[in-house]
């Protein structure tokens, strides 16, 4: 009888301990643990960039990239002359502005 009671008490203790430990580590309190690690789907291609595939910012200053604003009509409204003959889903930057570059100020100065 005593052995049975001891075993059940110990079992209960272990269960409670496990539960509390799991709660603490999974963030029941709201600010513990870290869960920002996300694996991406597997088996996808990265790359395959053809000629003219440019991803970087504009660089100063000669030949600065002019903003293509052929999606506005003469009244300044967005027209339907964008790629594929459809208006862009985004609001284009104002006409006449060239794309800005990244900050150039050095941290050391």
Partner 1 sequence: MDRNGRARHAPPRVCIAVLLFGICTAFARSADFELPPLNSPPSTETHPGKMLWADLVTPDLTAAERFYGGLFGWTFQSVRGGRFDYALALLDGRPVAGLVQKPLGSGEHRQPAWLTFLAASDIDSVKRVAVSHGAKVLADTKLYPMRGRQCVLSDPEGAVFALLASSSGDSPDYLPENGEWIWSSLHAMDAGSEAAFYQNLFGYDVFDLPSDDGLEHLILSTDNYARASANDLARGSAHRHSHWLNFVRVENAAATTAKVLALGGRILVEPRMDRHGGMVAVVADPAGAPFGLMEWTASDTKEEPR
Report the site for partner 1 in 9-48 (rule: CB under 8 A).
9-10, 12-13, 16-17, 20-21, 24-27, 29-48
Site for partner 1 in 42-101 (CB under 8 A): 42-63, 65-69, 71, 82-83, 88-93, 97-101
> Smallest gap, in angstroms, from Cβ of residue 80 to partner 1?
13
Q: Are 86 and 78 in contact (CB under 8 A)?
A: no
Closest by CA to 92, choosing from 101, 105, 79, 106, is: 79
Quote the least distance from Cβ 76 to partner 1, whole Å. 16
Q: Which residues contact 88 (CB under 8 A, 6 or more apart)?
A: 71, 78, 82
Which of 6, 79 has the CB closer to partner 1? Answer: 6
Binding-residue total with partner 1 (CB under 8 A): 75
Nearest to 66 by CA among 100, 108, 15: 100
Least distance in angstroms from the C-beta of 75 to partner 1: 19
Our CB check for partner 1 shows the closer of 74 and 104 to be: 104
Residue 40 Cα distances to 16, 55, 84, 100, angstroms:
35, 21, 31, 31
């Amino acid at each position: 009888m005593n052995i049975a009671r001891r075993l059940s008490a110990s079992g209960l203790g272990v269960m409670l301990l496990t539960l509390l430990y799991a709660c603490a580590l999974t963030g029941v309190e709201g600010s513990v643990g870290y869960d920002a690690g996300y694996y991406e789907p597997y088996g996808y291609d990265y790359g395959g960039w053809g000629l003219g595939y440019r991803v970087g910012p504009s660089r100063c200053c000669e030949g600065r990239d002019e903003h293509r604003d052929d999606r506005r009509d003469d009244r300044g409204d967005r027209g339907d002359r964008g790629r594929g003959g459809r208006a862009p889903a985004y609001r284009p930057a104002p006409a006449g502005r060239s794309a800005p570059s990244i900050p150039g100020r050095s941290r050391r100065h």
